[in-house]
Amino acid sequence: MTEEPAGDTGLPASLEMAWGLRERPGKGPRPTLTLPKIVDAAVALAAAEGMDAVSMGRLAKELGVSTMSLYRYVTAKEELYILMSDAGVGTPPVPSGKEGAGWRELLSEWAYAQRAVLMANPWILRIPITGAPVSPNQLAWMERGLAAMADTGLEEGEKISTIILIGGLVRNEATMAADMMDAIVKSGVSPDQVMGQYLRTLRLMTGPDTHPAVTRLLESDAFSGSGEPDFQFGFGLNRILDGLAALISSR
């Protein structure tokens, strides 16, 4: 199946199958191995052991098949990654439908929903981005984000640029959180202990003469904050939305 040209879509056969444009490979008895089964097994492996554990050989072992049999469904590991990511993000949640919700509320809801998915499935962040989204669920997320701006008067190029900008914030913040959590887990101490040691180090290594701005930061309540866990993400998102509001108002 996968040795045939993908056709006018320009997609590999495995992605055409994900879109429902291709049937199962070959004729005869229905095989026990299917593309969804392969993807589900790869996702389970990534969730349990991380993306480094995912290889065609390891996946074949988990499924109890030969490695070559996987290539009837997925021609390369990069295709498998795209399918895994698509399965991991799932379909975007239905908008809450709050009365009077405008573009800002809809975009904010969209961003927080994306962030929740990535925080729950940090292995997705370890998949390299090799191109624009072409898989079903990824395009469903794009559609939902663009639709949030339907009544803004923005040009289509401005809408997709907004999606890219907010998506970058979401991915960057989720990646930093995942990296820090990995480091904390490996250190064997609690997050509070890690932060406490960091602050002690800063206070020992800085002072008002050499680092006045850092000193002012340490003297503030910035690190203790108000207890809002999403403050940094919310701050960044709202600044982007403030800028977008100014642009929309100017139209």
Does 19 or 3 have the greater pLDDT score? 19
Q: Is pLDDT of 115 > 80?
A: yes
pLDDT of residue 3 exceeding 80, the answer is no
Q: What is the pLDDT of residues 158-171, one digit of tens each?
A: 999 999 999 999 99
Task: Kindly tell me if the per-residue pLDDT of 227 is higher than 60.
Answer: no
User: Is pLDDT at 199 greater than 70 in this prediction?
Assistant: yes
End-to-end CA distance of the chain: 51
User: Which distant-in-sequence residues (6+ apart) come within 8 Å of 128 by Cβ?
Assistant: 81
Considering Cα of 189, then 194, then 196, then 202, what sign does the dihedral take? Answer: positive
Over residues 145-165, the mean pLDDT reads: 96
Per-residue pLDDT, 17: 85
CA pair distance 251, 199, nearest whole angstrom: 46
pLDDT at position 2, please? 44
Q: Which residue has the tokens 């390891």?
A: 58
Across the chain, the runs of DSSP E, i.e. the strands, are: none
What pLDDT does residue 31 have?
63
In tens, the pLDDT along 42-92 reads 999 999 999 999 999 999 999 999 999 999 999 989 999 999 999 999 999
Cα–Cα distance list, 123 to 84, 141, 230 (Å): 10, 19, 21
- pLDDT tens per residue across span 10-40: 888 888 888 888 765 555 445 678 999 999 9
Length of the chain: 251
The answer on pLDDT for 251 being more than 50 is yes
- Distance from C-alpha of 195 to C-alpha of 210, rounded to nearest angstrom: 22
Residues 146 and 51: their CA atoms lie apart, in Å, by 30
Q: What residues contact residue 118 under an 8 Å CB cut-off, 6+ apart?
A: 124, 125, 170, 171, 174, 178
User: What is the pLDDT confidence band of residue 228, given thresholds at 50, 70 and 90?
Assistant: low
Mean pLDDT, the chain, integer: 89
- In which band, very low, low, confident or very high, does the pLDDT at 154 lie, cut at 50, 70 and 90? very high
Element (H, E) at 243: helix 231-250
Average pLDDT over residues 172-183: 92
Q: How does residue 5 score in pLDDT terms, banded at 50, 70 and 90? A: very low
* Contact present, 185 and 130 (Cβ < 8 Å): no
Record the pTM: 0.86
